[in-house]
Chain A
């Protein structure tokens, strides 16, 4: 029997707002409140508020914390100053992606990792397998909530509930983190997100999450709407961000996933020898963006073809609300990965032309 899905501290609020709840990675989460398209468009035009409390959070402390992270992460944490963050990966010995995450360097020698909900147990076991005695890994996922406020008016809204005498929210740079009391709730405010819009991800104690959520939604005059995981998925796909377990997994490396720019080579870390080799000699396959020429929607698992031969598989696909075209990600042999290449996707028995395009699919007009 499947275990009962877990509930975030904001569960009752989602139900009250009329959300359609689904099981996601063992959590009962809102997939949408009003509709995926409407929420998607609200985030691109104004702002959306997402409960992402299901995500995992680990604090790494102790004199061995940095030693552990240098070995375990594919990015170079020594490049970070206090208050800065990196997108990074936990890799296995074959260079495959166990998880993708954001690592934050907090004050007082605390490191924070924010990981995918479905990978919490695997990540913890992996981090502990390094047997770094002087590093303490604390899973604070259950005590911590996280709310993402994303969209062009996010900073304007935040300014209304931001402590006076601190630099205004819009002065925060991407991939930084500050501690602030937001709407009366002591929080860590990270300038990160998964939508391609300006915005923040705000972390607070689980028992204060309701106050933070209500404090933000009380500023509805900015046009903020509660937004579900459905819009989160279409937003991230439009800007080409991968989803672990779909576009990336323990059998794909960051280089194959076209994410090599987030990896810092020339150091020794778990999986680095495989990545060094791939960086020098190239890879057999690469994750590309595909835009369907006709009006049709590619879905995960659909075959990618060239000249009638299957050459790959779609790993994520949707109708892009912003560009009104079917878009997808998928792995193809390197020789087909060049933007402009026309391939085909088998969409339920019909071959549809699909153009390899440079990511992101969607870019805001300047």
Chain B
């Protein structure tokens, strides 16, 4: 079952429908409610390897629904520290809880201040 539409105010957003939650110099990445809704039921997550680099605006993996494949875009640059294995095992978590259990990776950020370049919830929703 899909979650209800929401865009939590404590997150920052990338225009390609990705979100970031920053804690210290680490950030959690995921895709927004809008992105998972457009994709449909997610059936497959191809994650990056722990220790690999992700670049801002660059693809770090892919999510697939029955009908389509979508690259997932890193909102900020850094090094992958954790992959959410729960999503690899149960990709539907991305639909069920896109901002909680459905997070995708954790990244040690190159530059924490770069988060200020991202959209807040209101600005992101204005792009939809």
Contact = CB atoms under 8 A, between A and B. Distances in A.
Contact of B67 (A36, A296, A321): A36
A129 to B, nearest CB: 36
B69 A319 contact: no
Interface of A is mostly: mixed
Contact of A20 (B40, B64, B69): B40
Contact of B66 (A234, A295, A296, A348): A234
A297 B42 CA distance: 12
B44 interface: yes
B90 to A, nearest CB: 12
B40 A36 contact: yes
Interface size class on chain B is 10 to 19
A264 to B, nearest CB: 36
Interface in B55-74: 62, 64-67, 69
B54 interface: no
A36 B64 CA distance: 13
A211 to B, nearest CB: 31
B27 interface: no
Contacts of B64: 297, 319
A48 to B, nearest CB: 15
A296 B44 contact: yes
Contacts, number: 35
A278 interface: no
Given A299-B69, A348-B69, A36 B41 contact: yes
B44 A295 contact: yes
A319 B40 contact: no
A31 B67 CA distance: 10
Given A31-B67, A36-B67, A230-B67, A348 B62 contact: yes
B64 to A, nearest CB: 5
B66 A318 contact: yes
B62 A319 contact: no
Nearest to B71: A348
B43 interface: yes
A299 B43 CA distance: 14
A35 interface: yes
Interface residues of A, number: 16
Interface string A227-264: 00010001000000000000000000000000000000
Contacts of A111: none
A50 interface: no
Given A297-B43, A297-B64, 17 more contacts: A31-B40, A31-B67, A32-B40, A35-B40, A36-B41, A36-B65, A36-B66, A37-B43, A37-B66, A230-B40, A234-B66, A296-B44, A297-B69, A299-B69, A319-B43, A348-B62, A348-B69
A3 to B, nearest CB: 23
Q: Give the top 7 A-B pairs by smallest Cβ distance, nearest first.
A: A36-B66, A35-B41, A319-B43, A297-B64, A37-B41, A297-B44, A318-B66
Interface in A9-31: 20, 31
B69 A230 contact: no
Q: Which of B46, B62, B66, B67 has the most CB of A within 10 A?
A: B66
Contacts of A20: 40
A234 B65 CA distance: 12
Contacts of A295: 44
Interface string A30-47: 011001110000000000
Nearest to B68: A299
A261 to B, nearest CB: 29
B60 to A, nearest CB: 13
A32 B67 CA distance: 11
Nearest to B64: A297
Nearest to B95: A35
A295 B41 CA distance: 17
